[in-house]
Amino acid sequence: MGTRVVRVEDPRLLTTGGTYTDDLREPELTGAAYVTFVRSPYAHARITGVDVSAARGVPGVVEVLTGQDTDDLPAPADGNPTAEPMLAKDAVRYVGEPVALVVTDGRYQGEDAADLVTVEYEPLPPVVDLEDALRGETLLFPESGSNVLAAAQDEGAGDDAFAACEVVVEHTIVNQRVAPVPLETRAAAAAWAHDRLTVWVSTQNAHWARDAVAGGLGIDPSAVRVITPDVGGGFGAKIGADREGVAVAWAAKRTGRPVRWVETRSENLVGMTHGRGQRQTFKIGGTRDGRITAYRLDLVQDAGAYPRMATLLATLTKSMASGVYDIPHVEAYFQVAATNTTPVAAYRGAGRPEATAAIERAVDMFAAEIGMDPREVRRRNFIAPDKFPHTTPGGMEYDTGEYAAALDRVLAAAGYDELRAEQARRREAGDPVQLGIGLSAYVEITGGVPEIGETARLVVHDDGTVTVLTGSSPHGQGHATAWAMLVHDELGIPMDKITVRHGDTDAIPVGIGTFGSRSLQLGGTAVHQAALEVKERAKELAADELEADKADLEFDTADGLWRVRGTPDIGLDWGRLAQLAGSDGLAADVHFTSDKSTFPFGAHVAVVEVDAETGKVRLVRHVTVDDAGPVLNPVLAEGQRQGGIAQGAAQALLEEVLYDAQGNPVTSTLVDYPFITATELPSFELVDMATPTPLNPLGVKGIGEAGTIGATPAVQNAVVDAVSHLGVRHIDMPTTPERVWTAINEARTGQ
Amino acid sequence: MIPATFTYRRAESADHAVVLVGEHGDEAKLLAGGHSLLPLMKLRLAVPEVVVDIGRVRELSFIRDLGDQVAIGALTRHHDLENSALLARELPLLAHAAGQVGDPQVRHRGTIGGSLAHGDPASDLPAVVLALEATLVARGPNGTREIAAADFYRGLFETALEPDELLTEVRVPKPAGAGWSFQKFTKRAIDWAIVGVAAQGDKVALVNMGPTPLRATAVERALADGASVEDAAQRAAEGTEPPADLNAGPAFREHLARVLVRRALEESRA
């Protein structure tokens, strides 16, 4: 625990390269045909006819399937009018929605054949922005009677709390829609043989993908084997198998021929779910000496065209609304609205970055209003360390937290007072390049449905090697390294003798997967407990064999032998113990569950330079404390923080998915969707802090999403801070040069 | 992201390329570094019947000192421009600007001829050759002709080249010791310029301020009339038609042009 171990995954990834779904050359996929989807060019339209005859006539076309062909599949979700079909049949609700698919011998033929599928559309008015959705003149699902798919509404209960405040600040901000952009786009392959489906899919959880395929096709889950090869990033958008993944499996079963599919980047930018997409109105009130006494958040969550996880996102934002602050009166409301855009689902943080973004902007605006340093306002309102476990007004039970200590530590590392002095100097000199210092303090919820836990099976083989079968599902995190470390820590077996297997539903019948920063605290704990069980069993076996008392046995990590204390000449190695275990094997199965979530926290300081003439922002420093409890391997934890910070900064500075008034995506290539690159980022300064949780034996919380949650508001606050002396109170994300320039102009002219 | 079917022809020489485009006329597209054409083909925004690949015509890749001017072959890669000792000495504006194009991968593939002939007003090098008052050399079925850079750009993605002509060379006069500056304003390093300014002495050209790259003639006139840098730069947006896109609206571009021209003139005179 805590050792800086180089990732065992990397030599292969950096030399021969990984094997991603599109790289698979398994015998079962020999002669595989290619699936190409026909996607809607309209944001909202009725489908009045589909003519596949021209496409069928093209050489190389194996099959053309449309929504009409799905009639013998199970009806989606027991009559739910908002259920997402596998292929649109009656109506399309976003540009890029799959309408048909063609199966061709060659990949290139698919693109041409897809062009020849003629779909007749009767365009309907598109519902693009949230105002249109709430107005409800056009409904995406007329049977539902509203575009608001779920809501937790204001009943005016909090008016008194605000009436008692000396200062109240109210503002509406946008937490813009962003695209996950994993390096590996979505991909799947499938083969139907001997009444069983084998599906290879790029996913964060093989077992949920298996259940999605089985449910979609109306076959028993035992007739589906899902295999997850290397996965090139998911960020929440590869949970389960999307409709395309199910459709690929269906195409293999229908045609009896193995098929494969990998989407193009343009397809990915419209077909993969997006993240965020909230309009937030906050109201924050308190005293002139910096005590916050009331906070209210009212948000509209853009669900996109189908609900998917949007209600969960809004619920998480509502639950986490008050963040790290001890505020007597907190209320939060939401409406989840359907629009004719790509569906919105989980994206690194999923609902928690949105909550943090809102309250961290609110606290800064409150601080500006009363003329107090934002550091001081935060210090005066943190939940005190002696109040844990702490139940918030939102009903969350925070396990452990040292919020003030995290902020003090990061401010010391950043040199906060010196930064403020430098800022003052530049302001006084009228320097065209102004300095901005942004703070954020955050707490988030991790564990991703801890009640369903995670599985591990550990087997010691006769040759002394170990196989770990995990239900967790790495897609870049480094599970193979981490799980081997956990086994090594308890059993002393060298890491190169430990193989970690994941993502095969035949080999691992039960598993959940990787999302919600859950892997180490659930899957890792399961591995840890399996190692403990194996160790106990080994002790029993050794005691029998050496005719000694269990209590007298000791394990020597140096030579890997079990010995009776004081008898150095005789020892048993792991292979021998595995042989002694006989047909039972030296193995353990663990399904670790937890009835409570963990709450990592931290504080970030972003330093930006803003060219006040052009509005261009440069992130020059980013200093963070991200406390997720004890760290198993700093290499992995720092990697998660680095990537998370980069994605958080990207949302604050650059990224936004945009549509035109007709619902056409205008950011569907990487020319127009400005993902961040290393050139735009400084080296991050990561400060250690580890406050354990009592909720699992390792004391660990999740680290995967923390960087994003803390970074986004810190960077945004820094940009506003840089130009606040010019009268700017707020700039929506992304803080592009034009927006910064416009904000300065408006402040100057008093608009 | 998969192009429509096309016929691929590889040119063995510049003359061979002229013959091949002559055979196919409007149906043919010349492929050099491929960094403009291939993305358009993948998106099926360009659907040429024939692609004539001139990527291996080595005779068109050179940088030569001709005394009072420098001759640059159309197939010279940005990377070679960026790292040429001759250009660093004689045409530092061009060498520097070439080093600002895209990213290292783009600069190893993209060519000066491709960039100039594509006619994208957001590209860097067209404005640079305007500020340097270069001459472009085209070869067609009837031989070669020279076109002044100022006459080369006709409209959005439209140049003075005939469909059966091949841009073979750029001739750039050596500026007489005047200072230079290249200001490229982007959100990210790899982006096209939202607005760019190339200045060589008192000659100033603008990137992405209209359907074509253009000279900031009002600025140049003001400087000639003895205006201060500050005052001359205020006229940077005169006569421009800046586009509106995801990065910026016309008003912001006009503002950027004024700021960047001022900075360019300050830097080139420093």
Q: Average of pLDDT values for A484-498?
A: 95
pLDDT number for residue A77: 64
Rounded CA separation A330/A344 (Å): 27
pLDDT number for residue A559: 84
pLDDT number for residue A78: 65
Rounded CA separation A623/A635 (Å): 17
Q: Which residues of A touch B194 (CB under 8 A)?
A: 737
The CATH number of the domain covering residues in A275-382+396-446+597-748: 3.30.365.10
Question: pLDDT tens for residues A203-246?
Answer: 999 999 999 999 999 999 999 999 999 999 999 999 999 999 99
C-alpha to C-alpha distances, B124 to A314, A671, B17, B98, B250, nearest whole angstrom: 45, 16, 26, 8, 19
C-alpha to C-alpha distances, B235 to A34, A659, A686, B131, B193, nearest whole angstrom: 57, 35, 47, 17, 20
Chain A residue nearest residue B189, CA to CA? A679
Question: pLDDT tens for residues B201-238?
Answer: 999 999 999 999 999 999 999 999 999 999 999 999 99
Q: Which residues of B touch A741 (CB under 8 A)?
A: 252, 255
pLDDT number for residue A576: 95
Residue B177: phi and psi, rounded to 5, are: 70, 5
The interface predicted TM-score of the complex, written ipTM, equals 0.96
Domain made up of A1-29+186-262: CATH architecture: 2-Layer Sandwich (3.30)
Contact in structure between A87 and A101 (CB atoms under 8 Å): yes
- B252 and A669 in contact by Cβ < 8 A? no
pLDDT number for residue A751: 65
A124 is written with which tokens? 């309907």
Rounded CA separation B52/B8 (Å): 6
Q: What angle do CA A563, A565, A570 make, to 5 degrees?
A: 35
Percent of chain A clearing pLDDT 70 (strictly above): 99
Q: Which residues of B touch A676 (CB under 8 A)?
A: 188
A381 is written with which tokens? 């309102």
The yes-or-no verdict on residue B118 having pLDDT over 80 is yes
- Beta strand residue intervals within chain B, DSSP E: 7-10, 28-31, 50-53, 63-65, 69-73, 135-140, 143-148, 153-155, 158-159, 166-173, 180-185, 195-200, 203-207, 214-215
Question: pLDDT tens for residues B67-93?
Answer: 999 999 999 999 999 999 999 999 999
Chain B residue nearest residue A680, CA to CA? B188
Rounded CA separation A732/A719 (Å): 10
- Beta strand residue intervals within A448-582, DSSP E: 454-460, 466-470, 498-502, 553-556, 561-564
**Domain parsing of chain A, residue ranges:** 1-29+186-262, 31-124, 275-382+396-446+597-748, 450-592
Rounded CA separation A82/A90 (Å): 13
Contact in structure between B115 and B91 (CB atoms under 8 Å): no
- Average pLDDT score, chain A: 96
- Among A68-82, A308-322, A639-653, the minimum mean pLDDT is found in A68-82
pLDDT number for residue A443: 98
Rounded CA separation B118/B161 (Å): 10
Q: Which CATH number fits domain A450-592: 2.160.10.10, 3.40.640.10, 3.30.450.260, 3.30.365.10?
A: 3.30.365.10
pTM over 0.90: yes
A401 is written with which tokens? 């937290």
pLDDT number for residue A599: 98
Q: Which of B1, B189, B259 sits opposite A265 (nearest CB)?
A: B1
Q: What angle do CA A114, A118, A119 make, to 5 degrees?
A: 110
Residue A95: phi and psi, rounded to 5, are: -65, 125
Percent of chain A clearing pLDDT 90 (strictly above): 94
Question: pLDDT tens for residues A85-108?
Answer: 999 999 999 999 999 999 999 999
> Rg of the Cα trace of chain B?
18
Region of A77 (left: φ > 0; alpha: ψ -120 to 50; beta: rest) is left
Q: Which residues of A touch B249 (CB under 8 A)?
A: 738
Residues of B with CB under 8 A from a CB of A: 1-2, 4-5, 39, 43, 185, 187-191, 194, 246-249, 252, 255-256, 259
Class of residue A218 by CB neighbours under 10 A (exposed 0-12, middle 13-18, buried 19+): exposed
pLDDT number for residue B110: 96
Q: Which residues of A touch B4 (CB under 8 A)?
A: 112
Question: pLDDT tens for residues B240-251?
Answer: 999 999 999 999
Question: pLDDT tens for residues A539-585?
Answer: 999 999 999 999 999 988 888 899 999 888 899 999 999 999 988 88
Residue A371: phi and psi, rounded to 5, are: 70, 40
From A15's Cα to the closest Cα of chain B, the distance in A is: 20
pLDDT number for residue A407: 98
The CATH number of the domain covering residues in B7-53: 3.30.43.10
Question: pLDDT tens for residues A4-37?
Answer: 999 999 999 999 999 999 999 999 999 999 999 9
The yes-or-no verdict on residue A325 having pLDDT over 70 is yes
Q: Average of pLDDT values for A422-435?
A: 98
Q: Which of B246, B247, B259 sits opposite A614 (nearest CB)?
A: B259
- A108 and B2 in contact by Cβ < 8 A? yes
Is it true that A31-124 and A450-592 share their CATH fold? no
Rounded CA separation A242/A225 (Å): 16
Question: pLDDT tens for residues B4-62?
Answer: 999 999 999 999 999 999 999 889 999 999 988 999 999 899 999 999 999 999 999 99
The CATH number of the domain covering residues in A31-124: 3.90.1170.50
A543 Cβ neighbours under 8 A, 6+ residues apart:
A549, A550, A553
From B148's Cα to the closest Cα of chain A, the distance in A is: 31
pLDDT number for residue A137: 96
Contact in structure between A226 and A210 (CB atoms under 8 Å): yes
pLDDT number for residue A560: 85
Residue A179: phi and psi, rounded to 5, are: -110, 140
Interface test with B, best of A185, A265, A614 (most B CBs within 10 A): A614
From B41's Cα to the closest Cα of chain A, the distance in A is: 13
Question: pLDDT tens for residues A114-171?
Answer: 999 999 999 999 999 999 999 999 999 999 999 999 999 876 667 789 999 999 999 9
The length of chain A in residues reads 751
Rounded CA separation A523/A593 (Å): 9
Nearest residue to A736 (alpha-carbon basis) of A643, A662, A667: A667
Question: pLDDT tens for residues A608-647?
Answer: 999 999 999 999 999 999 999 999 999 999 999 999 999 9
> Rg of the Cα trace of chain A?
27
Domain B180-269 in this protein, CATH class? alpha beta
Q: Which residues of A touch B39 (CB under 8 A)?
A: 671
A514 is written with which tokens? 């990787």
From B84's Cα to the closest Cα of chain A, the distance in A is: 24
Q: Which CATH number fits domain B58-173: 3.30.465.10, 1.10.150.120, 3.10.20.90, 3.10.580.10?
A: 3.30.465.10
Q: Average of pLDDT values for A320-335?
A: 97
- B39 and A671 in contact by Cβ < 8 A? yes
Q: How many CB pairs under 8 A join A and B?
A: 51
The yes-or-no verdict on residue A74 having pLDDT over 80 is yes
The yes-or-no verdict on residue A378 having pLDDT over 80 is yes
- Residue-wise DSSP of A446-468: BSSSGGG-EEEEEEE-TTS-EEE
pLDDT number for residue A557: 81
Contact in structure between A441 and A605 (CB atoms under 8 Å): no
**pLDDT grade, residue A362 (50/70/90)?**
very high
- B2 and A674 in contact by Cβ < 8 A? no
Beta-carbon count within 10 A of A142 CB? 10
pLDDT number for residue A508: 97
What is the DSSP code (8-state) at residue A550?
G
Q: Which residues pair with A187 in a beta bridge?
A: A262
pLDDT number for residue A159: 78
Q: Helices (H), strands (E): how many in chain B?
A: 12, 14
Q: Which residues of B touch A108 (CB under 8 A)?
A: 2
